[in-house]
Amino acid sequence: MTELSIVPAGAGAGKTHHIQETLTQWVRDGKVRPERILAVTFTEAAAGELRQRIRGALIADGNLQAALAVERAYVSTIHGLGRRLLIEHAFAAGSSPQQRLIAEDEQDLLIRRSIEENQALNELSRNLGAYGYRGSFTSDDTAEDSFRRTLLGVIALLRTLGPRGGDPTMADFVDASIRQGYRQPVGTPETLAAGLKQAVDALLLAFPRSLADDAGSAAAKTAFRDNFRALKQAEQLLSTGGKDWKLWQRLRDLRQSKRAVRRLMVTMTWPLRS
């Protein structure tokens, strides 16, 4: 049979009923033998219900032989079908037919090995703090745990794409989309780093201490103290050529104080007045 029918439908629209009616009619018309039926659903309960509906319809027709043959049909979940294919074709793929779910410790070990073997992931994993990964005091999770969870999440998303998830052009498309969204940087990395360092040095020279004393509210005092610590961290980091993307994000949102700006303007114009 080469006939292909696509029936898009939402939840509760009667997809199982449609499949049952179609398969039953095929058996009645002699297009397919009952034991040769292959049907997949999302849950074991739905698979059992589908089998019972086909059997019940054939019994109602008085075709007891066909109803009994339905027991030999393969009606299962999509995961069950995948497992069956892996087992039946294991030797052709050079694998063992004894399939099992790997334990959490085994999964963790495989992820660690994959990270070590991948140059980009290996480099990233050796400086997780620079990319915003932090441990948690409440759950005792480390930065490595957070990174591996993110990696597993990406793998899960790629699996939902099917064959497209392993297509190299997909990575190129994502890279182009990110660059389009953030736009291309103007200048070389060295020039941008030098400009950032110049801006940080200028701010620290103009404000050698935190502006918290000039703040009018508790929230402003906290924000200015955080800004000052971030600038001092950036000063030290830029002097060594390091990276910390989370720190750069903090520096994008420096709090402004009109009072401090007025004081800076008076200080800068004082020599001109004298």
Tell me which residue range forms the domain holding 227. Answer: 189-269
Tell me what the pLDDT averaged over the chain comes to: 81
Identify the helix (H) or strand (E) that includes residue 76: strand 74-77
Tell whether 36 and 75 lie within a shared domain: yes
How distant, in Å, are the alpha carbons of 24, 34, 36, 66 from that of 30? Answer: 10, 9, 12, 11
Cα distance between residue 65 and residue 34, in whole Å: 9
> In the prediction, which pLDDT does 59 show?
92
Residue 177 reports pLDDT greater than 60: yes
Give pLDDT tens digits for 73-99.
Answer: 888 888 888 888 888 888 887 877 777
Residue 93 lies inside a defined structural domain of this protein: no
Residue 55 reports pLDDT greater than 60: yes
Give pLDDT tens digits for 220-259.
Answer: 888 888 888 888 888 888 888 777 777 877 887 787 765 5
* pLDDT tier for residue 274 given thresholds of 50, 70 and 90: very low
Residue 266 reports pLDDT greater than 70: no
Residue 207 lies inside a defined structural domain of this protein: yes
Residue 54 reports pLDDT greater than 70: yes
Tell whether 263 and 236 lie within a shared domain: yes
> In the prediction, which pLDDT does 252 show?
79
The stretch 202-208 carries a mean pLDDT of 83
The tally of domains found in the chain comes to: 3
Residue 201 lies inside a defined structural domain of this protein: yes
> In the prediction, which pLDDT does 257 show?
65
Residue 185 reports pLDDT greater than 80: no
Name the more confident of 243 and 268.
Answer: 243
The stretch 22-31 carries a mean pLDDT of 90
Name the more confident of 216 and 188.
Answer: 188
> In the prediction, which pLDDT does 213 show?
73
* pLDDT tier for residue 273 given thresholds of 50, 70 and 90: very low
pTM for the structure as a whole: 0.47
* pLDDT tier for residue 268 given thresholds of 50, 70 and 90: very low
Residue 98 lies inside a defined structural domain of this protein: no
Give pLDDT tens digits for 98-148.
Answer: 777 777 788 888 888 888 898 888 888 888 877 778 887 777 888 888 888
Last residue of a domain, one of 130, 150, 182: 182
CATH assignment of the domain containing 82:
3.40.50.300
Last residue of a domain, one of 131, 162, 182: 182
C-beta separation of 17 from 52 below 8 A = no
First-last CA distance in the chain: 98
C-beta separation of 27 from 58 below 8 A = yes
Averaging pLDDT over each range in 77-81, 188-192, 260-264, which range is the top one? 77-81
Q: What is the CA radius of gyration of the chain?
A: 32
Cα distance between residue 215 and residue 212, in whole Å: 5
Residue 148 lies inside a defined structural domain of this protein: yes
